[in-house]
Amino acid sequence: MMRRAWALGLFAFLVAGCPGQTVAPPPLHTPPPAKTADAKPQEPQAAPDPKEPPPDSAPPRPFSTPKTTWIELKNGLRVVSVLDRAVPVVHLRIAVLAGTAVDGERTGLAAVCARAVASSGAGSLDAIELQKRIEGLGASLSVDLNADRVVYGISVPGPRLAEAAEVLASVLGRPRLDPKEVERVQGALAERAAGKARSDGAWGALMMLHRDLFALPSEHHPYASFDATAEELGQIKPADCKAYHRRYFVPKNMIAAITGDVPADEVRKVAEKHLSGLSGKAAPALSFTDPMPPESTKITLVDRPGSTQSEMVVGSLGPKESEPTHAGFVTAAEVLGGAATGRLALDLRDNRGLASNVFAEIVPFANGPSAFYVYTKTNHESTGEALTAVLAELRALTQEAPSPREMETAARFLGSIRAVSTSRPGARADELCDLGSRGLPDEALDERIATIRAMAPEAAAKAFAEHVRSGHAVVVVSGDATTVGPILQRFGEVKVVDPMRRFARTRTLPAAAAPARP
């Protein structure tokens, strides 16, 4: 959701123009001069020639990211660097392969403990002293968590890289994990989760989507938890965080990325001096069982009494990033759910006014299939029509290839997003951590864009059809069950859950009987 929101913002920026650009106001209306007695009648003007069509767009310029340099320290820590002298700033990121997938049955473990590592003090510094030390560098410490990794980041002026590396190594290697600080983090996250359960329909829909997509017969899949509930977060203990740190915060389970105004030889010196002290045995391996697609359409209703809008996700399992069909699937998803020119936006939002927001999203994972979904926000009374339209668009893309124009638009947009996103400060360091955590080469995204630009429309439709099958979708709707329930019953049996009670099932609505044939 965050990435899609950023893409929408980028599109608006490109359309609106650069900040500070002055637009001349329209001229004031001037009434025609009054007619006089001796005024000659004007000759009728010939109709202007129709406007010429705009010229074709120029071919996209080739784009590639700067070359990376890798080293491996004696303790097993892998370090990647990229020289970029555009700004005299260095971005240091360390990814620990200990995202929410390591939670197991203790959902919320990584959410609490990964943040407590950064905020509880380190070594001889308590939490306040650590904060002052980081502020003294002119920096702040960021924490970014997803299913496969947690990334800790600091950006500093180039000459202060060594100090930043020393501080970050102390944070990750010797966190205090004081019980009071763990409980403070725990309380803040629980309050946030309770607020989302009350008022965030999209959050509730994605919670159930991940549960249903990654459901297993007899075990909890590591990717089945989109987020933790307040009750789950409340069960995490300070001792759990110490065990989490001991098991996973070891150099062989980390990747360091350093980008900016620093040459590779200086990166090596800093890494060997300040990061080689990290220690620990190999992290325990996780077990991943590939989930099976649902045998039939699965419908869940997240009950939000009193709400007037429905937030709906229709999802399925997509290909792994390592599979040959992944680039084609990404292209098809952009044709379908692109932020501005996708089929869903043009049909549901612009033409029929069924949705205030609609897009498609792909969530990749390191050790399993990706999660694909279409998000739609609509009024309660339009829920059935909007769901019918989404299912029809999904089915159409599996049966008929996109047009060449749709393919070109998708390739241009994906390439533009790729080029612009990597220009943001620290973005390349973040990207290298993400690629490394998912076991992908540094050039994976550049190669994907090149593949998409050369792809035939039939290849995109075939890749989409292999994973999105009619009658096998997971449908989750957040809305008022009293109003939306009867609408959804027309599509099949509906499971109703309560987000305020850890999404427990409250009732099952049977499928509506098919109308009798005359």
* In the chain, ranges of CATH 3.30.830.10 domains: 69-274, 298-509
Residue 508, Cα to own-chain centre: how many angstroms?
31
3-state helix, strand, coil in the chain (%, to 5): 45, 15, 40
Residue 65: pLDDT over 60: yes
Check whether 224 has a pLDDT greater than 80.
yes
CATH class of 298-509: alpha beta
What is the DSSP secondary-structure string of 205-267? HHHHHHHHHT--SSS--TTS-SS--HHHHTT--HHHHHHHHHHH-SGGGEEEEEEES--HHHH
* Range 481-508 average pLDDT: 97
With a cut of 60, say whether residue 26 has pLDDT above it: no
pLDDT of residue 517: 47
For the segment 1-23, the average pLDDT, to the nearest whole number, is 45
User: Is pLDDT above 90 for 37?
Assistant: no
Q: Confirm or reject CATH 3.30.830.10 for domain 69-274, answering yes or no.
A: yes
- Report whether pLDDT(197) > 50: yes
Q: Kindly report the pTM of this predicted structure.
A: 0.86
What DSSP assignment string belongs to 114-127?
Answer: HHHHHHS-BTTB-H
